[in-house]
Amino acid sequence: MFVNQFLFLAAILFCIGVYGVIARKNAVLMLMAIELILNSVNINLLTFALRNGSTDGHVFALYIIAVAAAEVGVGLGLVLLVYRNKKTISLDDLSEMRG
Amino acid sequence: MNLFASESEVLAPLMSGWFLEHAWLIPVVPAIAFALIILVGKRLPMKGSELGVLSMFSSLVLAAGAGYQWIQRTNSATEEQFVEPVIKSWSWWQSGGFNFGIGQHIDGLSVLVLIVVAFISTLVQIYSLEYLRGDRRYTHFFAALTLFSGGMLTMVLADNMILFLLGWEIMGLCSFMLIGHWWEDDANSKAALKAFFTVRTGDAGLLVGITMLYFSANDWTQEHLGVSGFSIRGISAWALSGEPNSTVITIAAVALFIACIGKSGQFPLHTWLPDAMAGPTPVSSLLHSSTMVVAGVYLVARLYPVFFVGLDILGSGGNLIMVIGAITIVISAALAFVQNDIKRVLAYSTVSQLGYMMLGLGAGAWMPAVFHIFTHAFFKACLFLGAGSISHSASHHSFDMKRDMGGLRKVMPITFVTWIISTLALCGVFPFSGFFSKDEIIDNVGHNGYTNFMIIGLIGAFMTAAYMTRATYLTFFGEPRGASAGQMVHDSHDLHDTHATHDTHATHVADDSHDSGEAHGPHESGLLITVPLMILSVLALGSGFLNATPFGESWERMKLWVEPRHSEFAPELHHAPFMWSKASLSLVIVFAGIAVSWLISSRLFTKRDPRLVGLTQRVKLLGLGHKFLVNKYYLDALYEKVIVRSIAYPIASAAYWFNQNILDGILHGLANSTRKLSGWVYKNIDQRVVDGTVNNSATFTKSVGTAAQPTQSGKVSQYGALLFSAAAVAALVLVIINT
């Protein structure tokens, strides 16, 4: 079992995701980056599940997939509403919450 | 691996060949074609339809090759030897110790159904080239049709129940898309939804059955055959081994049979089938002859050992399958009498014929029932395509027999002749194919000791002959009426029933283009329509001779090729010896049905005999019966108004009551007491104790807040960066602590 390769893949995906969340200005792209992070976690869970021969990791991964679907639904809905109100989805322009 | 490895050395080696080993290609071809049609179909010269026709034709060639080699294989076996199916199996995916396979299980039954499905699909696709010309979703229609056949083919050659389920569900999905092909009309999308949900109700049974079989059979099959509990071969052997707990296998068989009731339109879930007529006619033809509705019957035939043991087939007094089959035969045949829509008559006739198949399977007449699948596919496809031909070229896209048809035998000679041949086959007249299969079922049911069920079968034969004669009379004889008489003045949107309406506007554009030179009156259809009709009618006439029991043992080729011989995989079944005395009884009944119906039809519809016209209005009892039939035994009303409402409405009203009385009451009570309490708290605690503290801490917090203000920039990215750096630091700390 090549556990390392899977973990490296997961780590790389995670880093790309984090970079996307921090550096992207576009809200939709940021949501996509969040998906990358979630899926890198999924890969980790599945890797260890396969290594330990248990189904727990599979269950968690399925659970995460289901929750992620809901999350993207809500997220895209928010982005849509923001666009309707402000005609932009650039995150830099959305700083009304600053202290 | 094989229990009987030592024994098989003694027996003759079985022949195999390329087509048998590669039978799994048969469904793969349409699957690839489906993807291609979706991707590039619109850019091709014939809008993707050529890919569909080509793929079905290749499947047919592959299936025919497999059929030929299977016959060689059975011939290479000895008389009593069980012909091993050609099984291939690969691992598809695995999870948590479960191994899901993918593979083929090729034996006589699957080869037979593969050939029928590929053959009918090819003809239906050719027919659709003309019938749907100019349709606005032409490409998508062919894509769905191809995938639909692919699903059926997958299901037929599946070697395990998971793959079987996959094919089963693909068909369910595609039938939804095809029935609702003209979804702009509300009635069509409703019919599609109804078909989907009704079948879905039964599908729950399939899931339950598969799961139960897996968990009870897996240990045994792993130990004795080295295959998983999903394998059809393993389940069959397990069911016959005497090992299974009788309660478990009975419940599993009943659960699987519920799925068959839904898919094969058996009572009480038959209501979706007539509504499925909302789809284009080629779809009805494919759905009702060789695919979809046959799937349920196929499941019973495929896992026959499970039903054989679980439902005690051949036991005394009958079983669930026989009872459901018998009820279905009679009630749907009765419904066919009150239909004016020609396709609905055929739909109820299909339901009734499926009842015969179920009755046969339930009574231990496996071979006649499977043979009836074979012959029924040809003549029923021919009848449906004939109905389509009439509406396409003669009755201006109407399916209403009473309003828009009549006297068509002169203008549509080819359609007429093919229709008559198929009708005689359906009625079971010697020597048409239906006689050899349907009569065999009835005969074997009686032979196995179920006299009552045999009588029901004979009553069904009488009714079949009668309603088909009525439909034939209304369509082809008498005086032309409505559109068939060339009356084009009426607006079809107002006068026709809904089914005619969508056929009209979908193909209207096409009609104007290809009919522009000639008169718009009734005429014979083009070659693309009549050639499939002719091929099918030849088979409706001739296919019965493949298992012609009246002519002796040497004519029973199908039995030799298809029926699994008694072994640990197949139960032992007996066949009724053919007797002309019994056959002539059923022939007399059929002819009586035709004659009675002909007399009444001609008096009622042409001569307008005053004793018959309006009889249902004058005699109260008959009127009630007629109303009962027209309303389809009120089953639809029962399902929609009673069952769905009784579940959905009380939940809603109970929730409302709970909300108004209990939740609101609690809230009001809480609010009142809270108000009193808060008044006291305000005076004594808040003003004196808390405020002092708060004011001080506020001053403190304000200074802290001002210091921390720059971090709250309002920029999400910045928050993210902070979050992740904090997480990274925390992770680092964790690593350091743990090492």
Q: Quick one: pLDDT at residue B520?
A: 57
B:185-214 residues touching chain A, CB 8 A cutoff? none
Q: Which helix (H) or strand (E) holds B728?
A: helix B716-738
Minimal Cα–Cα distance from A77 to chain B, Å?
17
Q: Which of B706, B715, B725 to mutate to test the interface with A (most CBs of A within 10 A)?
A: B715
Residues of B in contact with A24 (CB under 8 A): 717
Q: Quick one: pLDDT at residue A10?
A: 93
Instruction: Indicate yes or no: CB of B716 within 8 angstroms of CB of A23.
Output: no
Bridge partners of residue B556, in order along the sequence: B547
B:82-111 residues touching chain A, CB 8 A cutoff? 95-97
CB nearest to B714's CB, from A25, A55, A98: A98
B239 to B213, B232, B511, B514: CA distances (angstroms): 9, 10, 56, 58
d(CA B157, CA B111): 8
Q: Which helix (H) or strand (E) holds B549?
A: none
B724 touches chain A (CB under 8 A): yes
H helices within B515-578, ranges in order?
Answer: 527-542, 557-562
Instruction: Indicate yes or no: CB of A98 within 8 angstroms of CB of B713.
Output: yes
B247 touches chain A (CB under 8 A): no
* CA dihedral for B109, B110, B113, B118, sign (positive or negative): negative
Q: Quick one: pLDDT at residue A73?
A: 92
d(CA B153, CA B117): 7
Residues of A in contact with B97 (CB under 8 A): 53, 55
Q: Taking Cα atoms as reference points, which of B124, B450, B203, B214 lies closest to residue B314?
A: B450
Instruction: Indicate yes or no: CB of A98 within 8 angstroms of CB of B716.
Output: no
Residues of B in contact with A18 (CB under 8 A): 720, 724
CA atoms within 13 A on the CB side of B735: 6
Q: Quick one: pLDDT at residue B609?
A: 67
Residue B279: phi and psi, rounded to 5, are: -70, 170
**CB count, 10 Å around CB of B561?**
21
| Angle between the N-to-C axes of helices B320-336 and B342-362, in degrees from 0 to 180, rounded to the nearest 10 | 160
Instruction: Indicate yes or no: CB of B95 within 8 angstroms of CB of A58.
Output: yes
For range A23-40, the mean pLDDT: 90
B709 touches chain A (CB under 8 A): yes
DSSP string across B104-124: EEESHHHHHHHHHHHHHHHHH
B634 to B166, B335, B392, B628, B641: CA distances (angstroms): 34, 12, 32, 7, 10
CB B345 within 8 A of CB B339: yes
Residues of A in contact with B709 (CB under 8 A): 99
Residue B47: phi and psi, rounded to 5, are: 60, 30
| Angle between the N-to-C axes of helices B138-157 and B293-302, in degrees from 0 to 180, rounded to the nearest 10 | 10
d(CA B447, CA B454): 9
d(CA B209, CA B109): 22
| Angle between the N-to-C axes of helices A27-52 and A56-86, in degrees from 0 to 180, rounded to the nearest 10 | 180
Bridge partners of residue B89, in order along the sequence: B103
* Burial group, residue B603, by CB count within 10 angstroms (0-12, 13-18, 19+): middle
CB B497 within 8 A of CB B187: no
d(CA B257, CA B299): 9
B715 touches chain A (CB under 8 A): yes
Is the overall model pTM greater than 0.90, yes or no? no
Residues of B in contact with A55 (CB under 8 A): 95-97
Q: Taking Cα atoms as reference points, which of B282, B295, B275 lies closest to residue B196?
A: B275
Q: What is the CATH number of domain A25-90?
A: 1.10.287.3510
A46 touches chain B (CB under 8 A): no
B714 touches chain A (CB under 8 A): yes
CB nearest to B709's CB, from A22, A95, A99: A99
**CB count, 10 Å around CB of B728?**
11
Instruction: Indicate yes or no: CB of B717 within 8 angstroms of CB of A94.
Output: no
Establish whether the linkage from the previous residue to B274 is cis, with ω within 30° of 0: no
d(CA B465, CA B428): 8
Q: Which residues contact B66 (CB under 8 A, 6 or more apart)?
A: B19, B20, B23, B26, B106, B111, B114
Residues of chain B with pLDDT under 50: 1-9, 489-519
What single-letter DSSP state applies at residue B17?
A: -
A:64-93 residues touching chain B, CB 8 A cutoff? 91-92
CB nearest to B714's CB, from A25, A53, A96: A96
d(CA B622, CA B620): 6
Q: Quick one: pLDDT at residue A38?
A: 93
What is the residue type of B276?
Answer: A
Q: What residues does each domain of chain A span?
A: 25-90
d(CA B403, CA B398): 9
DSSP string across B664-717: HHHHHHHHHHHHHHHHHHIIIIIIIIIHHHHHHHHHHHHHHHHHHGGG--S-HH
Q: Quick one: pLDDT at residue A9?
A: 92
Instruction: Indicate yes or no: CB of B712 within 8 angstroms of CB of A99.
Output: yes
SS (H, E, C) B358-375: HHHHHCCCHHHHHHHHHH
B471 to A35, A64, B477, B643: CA distances (angstroms): 60, 58, 10, 34
* Burial group, residue A8, by CB count within 10 angstroms (0-12, 13-18, 19+): exposed
d(CA B57, CA B51): 10
- For chain A, give the number of residues: 99
CB B194 within 8 A of CB B270: no
ipTM of the complex: 0.74
Residues of A in contact with B94 (CB under 8 A): none
Q: Which residue of A has its CA nearest to B96?
A: A55
Instruction: Indicate yes or no: CB of B714 within 8 angstroms of CB of A91.
Output: no
d(CA B124, CA B180): 18
Q: Which residues contact B380 (CB under 8 A, 6 or more apart)?
A: B285, B288, B289, B346, B349, B350, B353, B422, B426
Q: Quick one: pLDDT at residue B612?
A: 65
Q: Quick one: pLDDT at residue A44?
A: 92
Residues of B in contact with A91 (CB under 8 A): 715-717
- For chain B, give the number of residues: 739
H helices within B543-618, ranges in order?
Answer: 557-562, 580-601, 615-618
What would the pLDDT profile of B629-672 be if each residue is shown by its tens digit? 777 777 777 777 677 677 667 777 887 888 778 888 888 888 88
Q: Quick one: pLDDT at residue B2?
A: 44
Q: Quick one: pLDDT at residue A77?
A: 93
Establish whether the linkage from the previous residue to B30 is cis, with ω within 30° of 0: no
Q: Taking Cα atoms as reference points, which of B381, B402, B404 lies closest to residue B392?
A: B404
Q: Which residues contact B105 (CB under 8 A, 6 or more apart)?
A: B85, B87, B157, B158, B159, B160, B232, B233
d(CA B713, CA B128): 64
Minimal Cα–Cα distance from B702 to chain A, Å?
12
d(CA B381, CA B129): 16
**For residue A33, what pLDDT band results from cuts at 50, 70 and 90?**
very high
pLDDT at A16 over 90: yes
What is the residue type of B352?
Answer: S
Residues of A in contact with B715 (CB under 8 A): 91-92, 95, 98
Q: Taking Cα atoms as reference points, which of B170, B126, B163, B120 lies closest to residue B144?
A: B170
Q: Which residue of B has its CA nearest to A24?
A: B717
B413 touches chain A (CB under 8 A): no
Tokens linked to B249: 């296998």
Q: Which residue of A has its CA nearest to B724?
A: A18
CA atoms within 13 A on the CB side of A29: 14
Instruction: Indicate yes or no: CB of B715 within 8 angstroms of CB of A21.
Output: no
Minimal Cα–Cα distance from A57 to chain B, Å?
10
Return the number of CB contacts < 8 Å for A and B: 42
B558 to B375, B448, B523, B528: CA distances (angstroms): 12, 21, 40, 31
Q: Taking Cα atoms as reference points, which of B87, B67, B26, B59 lies closest to residue B558?
A: B67
Q: Which of B702, B716, B718, B729 to mutate to test the interface with A (most CBs of A within 10 A)?
A: B716
CA atoms within 13 A on the CB side of B548: 14
pLDDT at A74 over 90: yes
CB B220 within 8 A of CB B238: yes
B713 touches chain A (CB under 8 A): yes
d(CA B310, CA B527): 50
Comparison of pLDDT for A95 and A83, the residue scoring more: A83
Instruction: Indicate yes or no: CB of A95 within 8 angstroms of CB of B712.
Output: no
Q: Which residue of B has its CA nearest to A97?
A: B714
Q: Taking Cα atoms as reference points, which of B334, A51, B447 lies closest to residue A43?
A: A51
Instruction: Indicate yes or no: CB of B717 within 8 angstroms of CB of A96.
Output: no
DSSP string across B201-268: HHHHHHHHHHHHHHHHHHHHHHHHTS--TTBHHHHHHHHHTT-S-HHHHHHHHHHHHHHHHHHTT-TT
CB B205 within 8 A of CB B258: yes
Residue B231: phi and psi, rounded to 5, are: -65, 130
